[in-house]
Chains A and B, each alone.
Chain A
Amino acid sequence: MTEKRKLVRVVSTAVPIDKANIDTDQILPARYLKATTRESFADKLFRDWRFDAEDNPVPDFVLNDTRYTGEILIAGHNFGSGSSREHAVWAIVDYGFRVVVSSFFGDIFKNNALNNSLLPVQVSETFLRKLFDAVHNDPSTVIEVDLEKQTISAPKLNLSAKFDINPYKKVCLMNGYDDVDYLVSMKDKIEEFEKTRKNDFSIPASKEQA
């Protein structure tokens, strides 16, 4: 069995990136996709927003603003659109985030996040605005994310909302379970499917291998 990091409850301050349509090319530019290992991508996260062409930190980018820290990233609508690169999720995780909050996520990004114990919390646009305002007004605002109860709240401000997660992934995240183990445990069913299926023309009968 491969045990993954468990995620049950995160209580932390947050880092707000108030921009919509942040695609995975922004989260991790393609030139950093040359890695062949699961090395740390933390210093590549938002590289072109964090650093200028001479590698000097861009002072007004939020990751360079020492007032904002924490394990929760808050971002605008349609976060993680574009390329399927899981490296974008690895970079966010390696940097130290455990939760990403947005009003909307790219599909593939969401799956990749869940496969890396990074919890995508989708809230309404109105709630997202309130969170942005709360954190902008007071960077020390503590946010609580409770996966068991599926709630996100800022207790001091009386802000609270429910969020959805599929039941299978909830169990996986809370217990550190892994999809590959689950699938490999299905081997008999998979082989049975292969034997009994009809209309499979995907590989020519000759089993030609080039």
Chain B
Amino acid sequence: MSKPRTLFDKIWDAHIVHQQEGYPAVLYIDAHLIHEVTTPQAFDGLRARGLPVFRTERTWATMDHNVPTKDQDKPIAEPLSRAQVEMLSKNCKEFGVRLYGLGHPYQGIVHVIGPELGITKPGMTIVCGDSHTSTHGAFGSIAFGIGTSEIEQVFASQCILQYKPKTMNIRIDGTLGKGVSSKDIILYIISKISASGGTGYFVEYSGSAIEALSMEARMTICNMSIEMGARGGLIAPDEKTFEYVKGRKFAPKGEEWDKAVAYWRTLRSDPGAKYDRELIINAEDIEPMVTYGTNPGMGMGITQSIPKESDFAAENERADFIDALTYMGLLEWQGKPLLGHPVDYVFLGSCTNSRIEDFRRIADIVRGKKKAKGVEVFVVPGSTQVARQLEKEGLADIFRAAGFDMRGAGCSACLGMNEDKIPAGKYCISTSNRNFKGRQGPGARTFLASPITAAAAAITGKITDVRELL
């Protein structure tokens, strides 16, 4: 009888090309997703070495970070962004990499289109030069973000050098309460173990509350694994996973499909498999969440109060807390809940929450209502396919009638890189993943929350307990 293995171990072991004692593993990569921002210098590296992209059929490119979300059919006005996007087109052409660029029906945020096109499947290794690559772990794959030097490694060899990370099992049992979504689960976990509590680990999410989630909700959880420092997160594939993948463009077909599913069913942690760390959470303890500070660990239940300076023991912790609250303009809100705090912007989008299901939930809150006066609401679908679906299902009309600003697919105001930014000093409730200083634009102040909590704020103009609107 062989030693019981975790899901992570099984996938890791199946991808080791070579393992030399004391050296990192040479790990084979099944799918390499690329975008315009983190690749130009890696392509330059290949050129300098005179190397091709080793496996173009395992490489997919799109444009997301740096694209405008208005007038996507026109040339990009901003010269640096345009140059970067054109560089990706040129590099893909030169190296023979397939590209879903601006104007292509498959264009979108790299972590939305991977699953949407069936590129993402159970049992795979997936990398991308973006930390939110952890999203793809929702299908039971090992997926993680890499830097540009590592992109060059994968281009050159379809492999990457990695030391095996430790594993953590986070089990969430029980039933989520009304108005509580998967975004709240992950914000809750990060608030408990901190923005660095998962560093060095790969996390498996398990338990009845995870099994009950849809694929899209699972992607939200895995997406934010990096926000607790974990390199990635994964969830064992099940019937929902297979159902989601079936029939998609890059899914296996016919006899191959049956073989694939038979294999995918073996991808679960064996009974008795050992993790380096385990954490158990009760779903009933989680309420809708909101962040008040400048890292995703600074979050709380919507009815709870922001801590006070005196709650922190160490002097440097107090200083960091005051620094965060000063940036957020919330010094006076210490010891109080955020309920009722005004918002200026609402951002509904990002690789965390821009899939069709997210917008369906938002529409349930918004239908027949109007946005609050003075609030600007960005609706940014994760992909061109999601944008089309929004029109087809009539959701776009609901949002337009509410006074929301319907935009094209891209990363948009999640990262303050493209044209979509939140002005300095303004408050934005956002369905994205990071509330870092300046993340949504220099001086912008971000409250992270679930899609329906953000939608509730769009209607009321202030931080609201969405359960009151259900």
- A interface residue numbers (CB < 8 A to B): 2, 18-21, 23, 25-26, 29-31, 33-38, 48, 53, 76-78, 81-87, 89, 104-108, 111-112, 115-116, 166-168, 179-180, 182-184, 186-187, 189-190, 193-194, 197, 199-210
B204 within 8 A of A: no
Is B382 part of the contact surface with A, judged by Cβ < 8 Å?
no
Q: A201–B147 contact, CB under 8 A?
A: no
A84 contact from B38, B49, B443, Cβ within 8 A:
B38
Q: Which of B21-29, B212-220, B390-398 participates in binding chain A? A: B21-29
Contact indicator B442/A53 (Cβ below 8 Å) = yes
Q: Do the beta carbons of B26 and A186 come within 8 Å of each other?
A: yes
Given contacts A34-B81, A48-B438, A53-B424, contact A184 B124 (CB under 8 A): no
- Chain A residues whose CB sits within 8 angstroms of the CB of B83 once the complex forms: 34, 36
Q: How far is the CB of B388 from chain A (nearest CB, A)?
A: 17
Whether the pair A20, B434 counts as a contact (CB closer than 8 A) is no
B331 at the interface (CB under 8 A from A): no
A35, A190, A194: most-surrounded residue (chain B CB, <10 A): A190
A162 to B186, CA, bound (A): 36
Within 391-430 of B, Cβ neighbours of A (below 8 Å) are at 415-417, 424
B360 interface hit (Cβ, 8 Å):
no
In addition to A30-B65, A202-B124, 6 A-B residue pairs with Cβ atoms within 8 Å of each other are A18-B316, A36-B83, A84-B129, A84-B145, A167-B23, A197-B28
Q: Are B417 and A33 in contact (CB under 8 A)?
A: yes
Using known A-B contacts A108-B145, A190-B28, determine if residue A25 contacts B229 with beta carbons closer than 8 Å. no
CB distance from A36 to the nearest CB of B (A): 4
Total contacts A-B at CB 8 Å:
218
CB B257 to nearest CB in A, in angstroms, measures 8
B252 close to chain A: CB less than 8 A: yes
| B426 CB → nearest A CB, Å | 14
16 pairs of residues in contact across A and B, judged by CB atoms under 8 Å: A25-B439, A34-B84, A84-B131, A108-B145, A108-B146, A112-B147, A112-B150, A179-B161, A180-B153, A184-B157, A186-B17, A186-B18, A190-B26, A197-B28, A208-B249, A210-B100
Contact: B40 with A116, CB < 8 Å?
no
Known: A78-B199, A201-B263. A167 touches B147 (CB 8 A): no
Complex Cα gap A38–B43 (Å): 11
A89 → B minimal CB distance (Å):
7
Tell me whether A77 and B196 are in contact in the complex, defined as CB-CB below 8 angstroms, given that A26-B436, A82-B436 are known contacts: yes
Contact code string B44-58 (vs A, CB < 8 Å = 1, else 0) = 110011010010011
The CA of A78 and the CA of B424, in the complex, are separated in Å by 26
Contact flag A183-B153 (CB < 8 Å), given A21-B195, A82-B436, A106-B229? yes
Is B130's CB within 8 Å of the partner chain A? yes
Interface string of B250-271 (1 = CB under 8 A from A): 1111001001100100000000
